[in-house]
Structure 1
Amino acid sequence: MRLMNSKPSRGMRLALNLLPFVILLIIYTLASDARLLENPSDKLLPSWSSFADAVQRMAFEPSKRTGEYLLWVDSAASLQRLLLGVGISAFIGLIVGVVSGMLPLFRATFSPLVTAISLIPPMAILPILFIVFGLGELSKVMLIIIGICPILIRDLQLRTQSLPKEQLLKAQTLGANSWQIMIRVVLPQVLPPLVSAVRLTLGSAWLFLIAGEAIAATEGLGYRIFLIRRYLAMDVILPYVLWIAVLAFLMDTILRLISKRAFPWYHGRGADAHE
């Protein structure tokens, strides 16, 4: 039996999923113990007890300066910016992508512009965003939108163009106009790919969010990480990074479950291909 045809059972798949994380934890524990044994004041690889103390201090004890629970305040601020930026990007990407994919005149006019914008590194225009939109929330949300919206537009445009031409011809033969075809034929078929595209751009959205918060913010996960880096507080930085990974994983999982529940026909064609 060829290795490419071997599929793990459910239990083995779970064990294989956990194996890399277990290996990383073991490596970190051994490296941390070795460094702390040599220098008990070492800050690069804190002990697990230091992590527990930092999490207790940041998440479950009010700040002495503000009286707020910093981890939850930072998480709420970051999630608000992220969800707003991703939501607006998904809406614009869906509308512009479908219209561009359906209407050749619109595509010929605006597709080159979208392509050009998608090739500009969003971080390069971050100073421009701060100058134009100020240092408030809008500039951070705009950074996310400019970073991922062109990608979503191009993906939805390609998805729309790849739909079977026979469907569009049959709809026209039955008397449907462009608007009806867009709503009744195209839109239901591109919504599942839209969810998949949003899932793929979540990592980039988090990157732009953290970058914006690191430069100009008074609260947020990125702000806190870059604020305490000057103290080499790895016992706080690493839990914050892990918490970001957990939030990103939860968002991806929620989107995947929503897609499966809302579009079972899409995942039924080949569930493995859409995971």
Structure 2
Amino acid sequence: MRWVNRRIGRGNSILLGALPIALLVLLYLVAAASRHADNPNDKILPMPGAMAEAMSALLFQPDQLSGQLLFWADTFASLQRLGIGLGISTLSALLVGLVLGVLPPVRATFSPLVTGIAVIPPIALLPILFIAFGLGETAKVALIVIGIAPFMIRDLAAHVAALPKEQIIKAQTLGASSWQLMLRVALPQAMPRQIQAVRLSLGPAWVFLISAEAIASDIGLGYRIFLVRRYLSMDIILPYVAWIALLAVVIDFLLVWSSRRMFRWAHGASH
């Protein structure tokens, strides 16, 4: 059977997906063991035991100044900022995207503005955000929103504008107003696309969050990574990076699961 015609079962899919990760871990262990054989004090590729020892203090020992378990405090702070940023971006995309997609005059008026904002590198706006909003939480959340909301808006507006004209005509024939078209025709079909847009925006959202935390923060995953880098503490940096990756994978899985549970029709008969 040709590979293009093969169908992978769920169990085999998990196994195949885990294989590259296992190979990367094995490659790292071999490289780390080789470096430590030449230099037992090597800090670039720490061994798993050294990482476990360094992380245990952050995981289980309260900080002497704040009294917090730093690892969990960092995680909660970063997830809170990420959640607020994603929530505001999602609501903005739904509202603006539906209006742009359904109403051609509004689309013609504001699409160039949305496009212009979308192509500006968000990191370049970070100093402006810090000046405008200060060094608190608002600037960090604003960077996430500015970084991902325009992409979501453009994607959702294009998806709504591409809906079959027959649906729009039939709804108008039945007496639907513009708002009813948005809420009862466009919105249900836009929701699966919006969840997909959130999934695609997770990576950039993490980038903007880590960037903001690295520059102006006193707690957070990005802050901790950039704090310990001056000591070459790879035994903390690598577990933190792996933890961020794991959190992103879990969030992505929850989004896929939610989409398939709520919008089965959008995923085909196999789901």
Q: TM-score range by the shorter chain?
A: over 0.9
Change (3 A) 1:196 1:269: farther
Q: Does 1:92 align with 2:96?
A: no
State the Cα distance separating 1:6 from its structure 2 match: 2.2
- 2:61 corresponds to: 61
Paired letter, 1:94: L
What are the Cα deviations for residues 85-106 of structure 1, in whole angstroms up to 9, with x where unaligned? 0100000011101100111111
How many residues are treated as equivalent by the alignment? Answer: 271
- 1:181 corresponds to: 181
Equivalent-residue separation in structure 2 for 1:220 and 1:88 (angstroms) = 20
- 1:22 corresponds to: 22
Equivalent-residue separation in structure 2 for 1:8 and 1:171 (angstroms) = 40
Helix, strand or coil at the partner of 1:66: coil
| 1:67-146 equivalent positions in 2, closer than 5 A | 67-146=67-146
User: Which TM-score applies when normalising by structure 2?
Assistant: 0.97
Helix, strand or coil at the partner of 2:254: helix
What are the Cα deviations for residues 211-265 of structure 1, in whole angstroms up to 9, with x where unaligned? 0000000100000000000000000000000010111111111111111111111
State the Cα distance separating 1:269 from its structure 2 match: 5.5
Equivalent-residue separation in structure 1 for 2:243 and 2:11 (angstroms) = 27
Paired letter, 1:114: V
What are the Cα deviations for residues 129-156 of structure 1, in whole angstroms up to 9, with x where unaligned? 1111110000000000000000000001
- 2:165 corresponds to: 165
Paired letter, 2:54: A
Q: Which runs of 4+ in 1 moved over 6 A?
A: none
- 2:43 corresponds to: 43
In structure 2, list runs of 5 or more residues that go unmatched: none
- 1:262 corresponds to: 262
What is the alpha-carbon root mean square deviation over aligned residues? 1.1
Helix, strand or coil at the partner of 2:66: coil
Helix, strand or coil at the partner of 2:68: coil
What are the Cα deviations for residues 27-81 of structure 1, in whole angstroms up to 9, with x where unaligned? 1111111111111111000011011112211111112332210010000110110
Equivalent-residue separation in structure 1 for 2:9 and 2:108 (angstroms) = 49
Change (3 A) 1:17 1:32: same
- 1:210 corresponds to: 210
In structure 1, list runs of 5 or more residues that go unmatched: none
